[in-house]
């Protein structure tokens, strides 16, 4: 391990000296990753987790910490092997948490006691409002696989499938499904047995691949559960985003589809405290995973649904009811930042007017990432391009924010950080495009600096004030690079029209937007126009491949991670076909193939490639399968270009393990040193 660290530091040298004075990959992995907090019953204390990674063991662990709502000293409450998660306040007011699929209680003396003995591990746990039941999810094998027929052949390794969705994101279909389950609490302790409320159904709750506890919720009456599920399978699942909300009545055992007829994703159900209204997020169009997320409220006494964000030209990220049920707080991206908003609900919901009833609570060059109401305050995680998430207290009336935790202050105080500047760049069609420019620490404008164009993935994912532990702008700037990160066409937070402009035009206006950004910055005397590079992942990786064929010698080097290279072969191997059908326009083999395959597939422009290319790819990336990276590397080498293929067999669309992460950064900066 020491050799690995020494090697990574050595290859990161750019003619500047790496030390504790700037961010390094090793320091990046030492940062604590703060989780969303919960509040004690008396409203005085915040509980949350912090996750730390260890390079030697190649693992991370989360432990529980607390802090007063007023701020002050941070208290570490656990130090348990295997880590903890799923913090809850128990019916008796104690702090409970999940570990190894069971519930543990932390007593006043700091001793952990296991209080459950479930017959199967449970996740996504929550107590009923009445305190007499626990809701969670269990995973069990429900479907026999064709390959099970050959289980006597112990040395064989085979997978056999008859329909689509045989693999998803980074997992092969194995006949196992996750379901909501109920456990009774008797004499203050959870029972051993559990009731599967979707018994026998071959569908998943939470929804794969990213669903969590937000997919299922309690009615305050304690007698009803609402959950999100896409009750489709095979090719129907692969080509549709039509998930619905289902209501389960505990007494009768009856399940009802309560969003029948709504075509897109319906998600994140929440009841207000009175139990007379239910809200959820809804997308209108089937097959469009990046459709506008509207906030719907249903009056449970009348059954009337009101889209309270219909007239608002933006999309909702996450939300929560106020405790008095008179307001809703939500997060949304606006001008490439994520801010907290407040909706004051009128008595007649149909009369809601964003200009009257919506208010932006926070401002500034930050991303807020969670919402927890605590009296006159909102408790939220906040981050920006120079700072990983910390917990803040936000005054609801004034928007004034006070930092409560200082988990990473010691590291940040020991390093110099660069300036992050917001610029408006004119595009080729006369639009104003918000572009972030990140400067090296101790920036000297009298010198010329190598400059990187950052191409965002998604393709509908804002270049906001995020703090990434891989595509970390602070780290790139610390290595001496200026980073140019444009919010090109297709990125949210600038209205629905701007967001939707990317679909079926991947290689069109978005590429022109990239050129507008880098050409504008290249005019600056401190930008070395002869040392420009383009980097990106996913659609950003696609962008790198596309730019390589049309850049007209602007760039000196390219780096693509898990990029789409050949849209035809990608369509034939990806899993969620609804994404390809919407954004590309359909299959390449249909009678009238979409124009995207001819106009916007990077492999069609390889004859123009003349620039070094570094390709990263993961072996378990089923969204953009590994063949895409291999094809691109093959093409670059056959074109006689300096190129390199860095392959992580056990990683998916991301690089998540610490040692692989160090190697990723090592190869990234090593390549830049060699080519830029």
Q: What residues contact 26, with CB distance under 8 A and at least 6 apart?
A: 5, 8, 9, 55, 662
Within 10 Å of residue 661's Cβ, how many Cβ atoms?
Answer: 22
Nearest CA to 656 out of 388, 472, 469 is that of: 469
pLDDT, tens digit (0-9, with 9 covering 90-100), for 191-205: 999 999 999 999 999
For residues 492-514, give the mean pLDDT: 97
For residues 499-522, give the mean pLDDT: 98
- What is Dmax (Cα atoms) for the chain? 75
Q: Which of 116, 128, 393, 538 is catalytic?
A: 538
**CA R_g for the chain:** 25
> Sign (positive/negative) of CA torsion 553, 554, 556, 561?
negative
Position 13 scores a pLDDT of: 43
Query: Are the beta carbons of 205 and 137 closer than 8 angstroms?
Result: yes
Q: Is the pLDDT of residue 12 over 60?
A: no
How does strand 613-618 pair with strand 643-648? parallel
Q: Is the pLDDT of residue 371 over 70?
A: yes
Percent of the chain with pLDDT over 70: 97
Position 539 scores a pLDDT of: 98
Q: Which of 621, 657, 665, 666 is catalytic?
A: 621
177 vs 269: CA distance, rounded Å: 21
Position 117 scores a pLDDT of: 96
For residues 150-160, give the mean pLDDT: 95
545 vs 559: CA distance, rounded Å: 9
Query: Are the beta carbons of 410 and 359 closer than 8 angstroms?
Result: no
529's enclosing H/E stretch is strand 527-537
pLDDT, tens digit (0-9, with 9 covering 90-100), for 559-604: 999 999 999 999 999 999 999 999 999 999 999 999 999 999 999 9
Position 82 scores a pLDDT of: 87
Q: Is the pLDDT of residue 651 over 70?
A: yes
For the question of whether the overall pTM of this predicted structure is more than 0.85, the answer is: yes
pLDDT category of residue 537 using cuts at 50, 70 and 90? very high
Mean pLDDT of the chain: 95
Q: Is the pLDDT of residue 15 over 60?
A: no
327's enclosing H/E stretch is strand 327-334
Position 148 scores a pLDDT of: 93
pLDDT, tens digit (0-9, with 9 covering 90-100), for 17-45: 444 499 999 999 999 999 999 999 999 99
Position 551 scores a pLDDT of: 98
Reply yes or no on whether 42 is catalytic.
no
Q: Which of 185-189, 469-473, 669-673 has the lowest mean pLDDT?
A: 185-189
423 vs 520: CA distance, rounded Å: 10
Reply yes or no on whether 538 is catalytic.
yes
Q: Which of 179, 617, 653, 665 is catalytic?
A: 653
Structure tokens at 658: 């610490």
Q: Is the pLDDT of residue 283 over 80?
A: yes
pLDDT, tens digit (0-9, with 9 covering 90-100), for 45-86: 999 999 999 999 999 999 999 999 999 999 999 999 888 999
Nearest CA to 218 out of 281, 302, 130, 296 is that of: 130
> Sign (positive/negative) of CA torsion 636, 642, 648, 654?
negative
Residue 127, SS3 per DSSP: strand
> What do you get for the CA distance between the two ends of the chain, in Å?
29
Position 187 scores a pLDDT of: 86
Q: Is the pLDDT of residue 11 over 80?
A: no
pLDDT category of residue 108 using cuts at 50, 70 and 90? confident
How does strand 557-561 pair with strand 527-537? parallel
For residues 259-264, give the mean pLDDT: 98
pLDDT category of residue 301 using cuts at 50, 70 and 90? very high
For residues 466-482, give the mean pLDDT: 97
Q: How far is CA 434 from CA 276, 476, 499, 523, 668, in A?
A: 42, 20, 13, 17, 26
* DSSP state string for 150-196: GTT-TT------SSS-SEETTEE--SEEEEEEEEEEETTEE-S--EE
For residues 312-331, give the mean pLDDT: 98
Query: Are the beta carbons of 553 and 610 closer than 8 angstroms?
Result: yes
Q: Is the pLDDT of residue 243 over 50?
A: yes
pLDDT, tens digit (0-9, with 9 covering 90-100), for 332-350: 999 999 999 999 999 999 9
pLDDT, tens digit (0-9, with 9 covering 90-100), for 402-456: 999 999 999 999 999 999 999 999 999 999 999 999 999 999 999 999 999 999 9
pLDDT category of residue 130 using cuts at 50, 70 and 90? very high
Reply yes or no on whether 600 is catalytic.
no
Q: Is the pLDDT of residue 8 over 70?
A: no
């Amino acid at each position: 391990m020491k050799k690995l660290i020494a090697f990574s530091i050595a290859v990161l040298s750019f003619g500047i000296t790496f030390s504790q004075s700037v961010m390094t990959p090793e320091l990046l992995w030492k940062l604590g990753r703060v989780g969303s907090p919960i509040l004690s019953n008396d409203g005085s204390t915040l509980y949350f987790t912090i996750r730390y990674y260890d390079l030697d063991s190649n693992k991370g662990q989360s432990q529980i910490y607390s802090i007063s709502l007023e701020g002050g000293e941070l208290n570490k409450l656990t130090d348990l092997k295997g880590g903890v998660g799923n913090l809850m306040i128990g019916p008796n007011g104690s702090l409970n948490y999940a570990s190894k699929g069971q519930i543990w209680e932390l007593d006043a003396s700091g001793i952990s006691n296991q209080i459950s003995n479930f017959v199967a591990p449970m996740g996504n746990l929550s107590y009923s409002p009445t305190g007499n039941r626990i809701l969670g999810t269990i995973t069990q094998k429900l479907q026999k696989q064709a390959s099970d027929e050959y289980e006597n052949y112990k040395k064989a390794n085979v997978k056999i499938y008859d329909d689509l969705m045989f693999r998803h994101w980074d997992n092969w279909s194995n006949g196992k499904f996750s379901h909501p389950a109920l456990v009774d609490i008797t004499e203050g302790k959870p029972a051993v047995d559990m009731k599967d409320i979707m018994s026998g159904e071959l569908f998943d709750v939470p929804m794969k691949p990213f669903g969590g506890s937000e997919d299922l919720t309690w009615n305050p009456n304690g007698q009803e559960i609402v959950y999100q599920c896409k009750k489709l399978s095979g090719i129907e699942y692969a080509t549709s985003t039509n998930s619905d909300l289902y209501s389960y009545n505990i007494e009768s055992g009856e399940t009802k589809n309560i969003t029948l007829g709504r075509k897109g994703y319906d998600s994140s159900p929440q009841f207000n405290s009175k139990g007379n209204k239910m809200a959820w997020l809804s997308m209108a169009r089937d097959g469009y995973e990046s459709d506008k997320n509207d906030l719907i409220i249903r009056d449970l006494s009348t059954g009337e649904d009101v889209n309270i964000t219909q007239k608002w030209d933006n999309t909702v990220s996450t939300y929560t009811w106020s405790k008095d049920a008179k307001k809703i707080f939500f997060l949304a991206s606006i001008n490439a930042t994520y801010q907290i908003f407040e909706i004051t609900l009128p008595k007649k919901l149909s009369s809601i007017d964003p200009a009257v009833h919506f208010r932006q609570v926070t401002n500034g060059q930050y991303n807020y990432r969670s919402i927890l109401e605590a009296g006159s305050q909102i408790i939220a995680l906040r981050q920006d391009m120079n700072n990983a998430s910390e917990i803040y207290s936000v005054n609801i009336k004034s928007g004034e924010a006070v930092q409560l935790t200082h988990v990473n202050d010691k590291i940040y105080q020991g390093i110099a950080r660069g300036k992050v500047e917001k610029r408006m760049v004119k595009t080729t069609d006369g639009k104003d495009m918000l572009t972030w420019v990140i400067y090296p620490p101790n920036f000297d404008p009298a010198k010329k600096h190598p400059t990187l164009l950052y191409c965002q993935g998604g393709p509908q994912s804002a270049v906001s004030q995020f703090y990434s532990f891989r595509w970390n702008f602070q780290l790139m700037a610390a290595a001496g690079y200026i980073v140019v990160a444009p919010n090109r066409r297709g990125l949210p937070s600038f209205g629905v029209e701007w967001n939707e402009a990317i679909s079926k035009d991947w290689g069109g206006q978005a590429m022109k937007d990239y050129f507008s950004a880098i050409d504008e910055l290249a005019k600056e005397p401190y930008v070395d126009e002869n040392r420009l590079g383009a980097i990106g992942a996913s659609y950003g990786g696609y962008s790198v491949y596309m730019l390589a064929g049309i850049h007209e010698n602007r760039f000196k080097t390219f780096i693509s991670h898990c990029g789409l290279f050949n849209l035809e072969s990608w369509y034939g191997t990806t899993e969620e076909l609804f994404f390809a059908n919407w954004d590309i326009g359909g299959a390449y083999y249909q009678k009238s193939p979409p124009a995207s395959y001819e106009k916007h597939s990077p492999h069609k422009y390889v004859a123009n490639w003349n620039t070094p290319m570094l390709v990263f790819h993961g072996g378990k990336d089923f969204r953009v399968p590994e063949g895409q990276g291999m094809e691109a590397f093959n093409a670059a080498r056959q074109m006689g270009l300096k190129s390199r293929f860095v392959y992580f067999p056990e990683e998916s669309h991301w690089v998540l393990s610490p040692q692989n992460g160090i190697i990723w950064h090592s190869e990234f900066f090593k390549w830049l040193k060699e080519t830029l």
